[in-house]
Structure 1
């Protein structure tokens, strides 16, 4: 039996993408917490596998040539694991393109815009109306794109796939200033995916590790200093 995947993880939407996939496929893995609020993402050993100092990342001891391989960036990890396991990432080229375009839609659109909406609405030290409105409105637009896409289908790219796993963790209406009732197809999909037992297990992984950043404690304020306002480290 192959050694388990090493999952470098913290309970955030990007981390949940990979934990959900591993749970869905029953892929053996070992959890390696990376406390981003304490700056563990800057440790030299972690930077060797994730040079962008972001998690998640994985090490597969049984890589494509039988040797260990590391992968960073959540979308790339999903693609790698999809190819490795042959699950939730179709081999047929037309079906694969369908999945990939929605995976990249999340990576380049929903994730960054929703992240900015969260920041300006919840974490920014001063309330900047333009920033709040700019990103809240863009998330509203993206929710509309997804709602339209789901009008006549259960999942975003045909069968349930890594595209759904990538998008689902980032649909957090309350924190993004959205009313989910405006988007009935999205609401139904959110529940459909969220009712999957593996999704629930992946979403719950490490939930006790994370402390809220907006609880006013010294620990949360210290974490904000680590997470926000980063510049290049030389």
Structure 2
């Protein structure tokens, strides 16, 4: 059983999307970040950076003690390797999936976070920051749009952790001042993932305790 400590954020949705795709048994422990539950000592014992998501796997592949992991990218790789899916079997395709997973973790996610903060949550307007991060999101969307021009998914023909990592951030495109009409390949990819049954199940989860 995977014990998932999470909340309904893009990084949280990554893990539920993967778990639903892989068919792994899991149980959600909601961590309401609006109430500061990410600072609870019990949560910090498995997620010292006080960020969701985090997991505890009570049945790791090596048969040893439970495995605790934080950082959504690390969790996606762990779950994919555990289940033997969502990572291409062919070496070069697997490398491509991994590099785009890192692209999301280092670029798309942090830049979207900054864009959303300054566009929606900053206590006072900061036009320079709004313009800077909105433009950077447009650039990143163009990068992914170009990459998807000759392939159904990010790593080619295989749906992978790279797609799962990116999708929940693209969900928030309007909040970041973007229209998918400007990125036709990205829109086609987005709609295909949106309509997957596992994605629908992941987004339907009720996190209320």
TM-score, structure 1 length as denominator?
0.85
Aligned to 1:191: 191
* Unmatched segments (≥5 aa) in structure 2: none
Q: Deviations over 1:145-187 (max 9, x none)?
A: 0100111111011210010000000012210001211101101
Q: Secondary structure at the match of 1:37?
A: helix
Does the 8 Å CA contact 1:157/1:163 hold for their aligned counterparts?
yes
The number of aligned residues is 206
1:200, distance to aligned residue in structure 2 (A): 1.0
* Unmatched segments (≥5 aa) in structure 1: 210-234
Aligned to 2:123: 125
Residue of structure 1 aligned with 2:108, choices 92, 110, 113: 110
Structure 1 runs (4+) deviating above 2 angstroms are 90-93
Aligned to 1:226: none
Aligned to 1:202: 202
1:79 and 1:168 map into 2 onto residues whose CA distance is 16
Residue of structure 2 aligned with 1:95, choices 93, 118, 124: 93
Q: Secondary structure at the match of 2:33?
A: coil
Q: CA RMSD in A?
A: 1.3
Residue of structure 1 aligned with 2:151, choices 135, 150, 153: 153
Where do residues 1-234 of structure 1 align in structure 2 (5 Å cutoff)? 4-66=1-63, 67-158=65-156, 159-171=158-170, 172-206=172-206, 209=208
1:83 and 1:25 map into 2 onto residues whose CA distance is 11
1:93, distance to aligned residue in structure 2 (A): 2.5
Q: Secondary structure at the match of 2:142?
A: helix
2:73 and 2:203 map into 1 onto residues whose CA distance is 17
1:200 and 1:133 map into 2 onto residues whose CA distance is 33
2:88 and 2:57 map into 1 onto residues whose CA distance is 21
1:94 and 1:100 map into 2 onto residues whose CA distance is 10
Q: Secondary structure at the match of 1:120?
A: helix
1:24 and 1:107 map into 2 onto residues whose CA distance is 20
